[in-house]
Amino acid sequence: MPVKRQLLYIEDEPDLGNVTKQYLELMGFSVDWCCSGTAAIGCYQKNHSDYSLVIIDIQLPDIDGFEVAKKIREWNADVYFLFLTARKEKHDRVKGLRLGAVDYICKPFDIDELVLKIQNIIFHQIPSTQREKELVHNLLHIGDVCLNIDLLELRISGQTPIALTQREAELLKYLNKNRNSITKREDILVQIWGENDYFLGRSLDVFISRLRKLLTVSSNVKITNVYGVGFIFSVSEMER
């Protein structure tokens, strides 16, 4: 059975909701976005079997997110949900967790961290036997390099796994798609970051530098800079 990656996202702020929805979809999730508690409850009742996780803002224009969570739990006591909110007070966090939330994330938040938490929540819903199959299925082998896509771990030449960020893993996967040829900087920025921007370009340089450093222990995989153009992700012929 394939892993469900559909989310119900409840956020009334249009810009934040739109950006977050687009990024989550870029990361491979299907997202139903509701701007009010009433709409979200109706959407959940109609499609409850489809959702792996419900993401709830507390400050909504009609009813607050705590009430939304209660209503959804009345419909399905086993629902997985988390709060994504500007409410930082301890009593709100405690209340949210007592309602059964798997996490309580305060705004502003790091979008890559949110993606990783969602992936972990969904992954641990999978029965252990299927989970092992998913882990095997989501291994990317590149010469003597192995990327565990679910766990965001990089293993080189059989050494101890190294933790990667979501962005580093995405970058490595994209470079591998274009292995042994020039990958242009602007193409990377548009595909991974969504736009070609000077400051994002500086971030790209940082990520490339870290990956290049990690790959120094690989016997057949390396990243070479092509000045003013981009990078070559090289995998030696005998190990490909």
% of the chain exceeding 90 in pLDDT: 49
Pick the CATH number of 166-239 from 1.10.10.10, 3.40.50.720, 2.70.98.10, 3.40.630.10: 1.10.10.10
Written out in words, the top-level CATH class of the domain with range 6-126 is: alpha beta
List, for residues 176-223, the tens digit of each pLDDT value. Answer: 988 999 999 999 998 888 888 777 888 899 899 999 999 999 988 999
Q: Which two tokens stand for residue 194?
A: 């969504």
pLDDT at 130: 52
Give, in order, the Cα–Cα distances in Å from 165 to each of 15, 92, 148, 169, 172.
Answer: 25, 29, 12, 6, 11
Residue 71 zone, left/alpha/beta (φ > 0; ψ -120 to 50; rest) = alpha
List, for residues 107-123, the tens digit of each pLDDT value. Answer: 999 887 888 888 888 87
Tell me the domain boundaries of the chain. 6-126, 166-239
Segment 151-163 shows an average pLDDT of 83
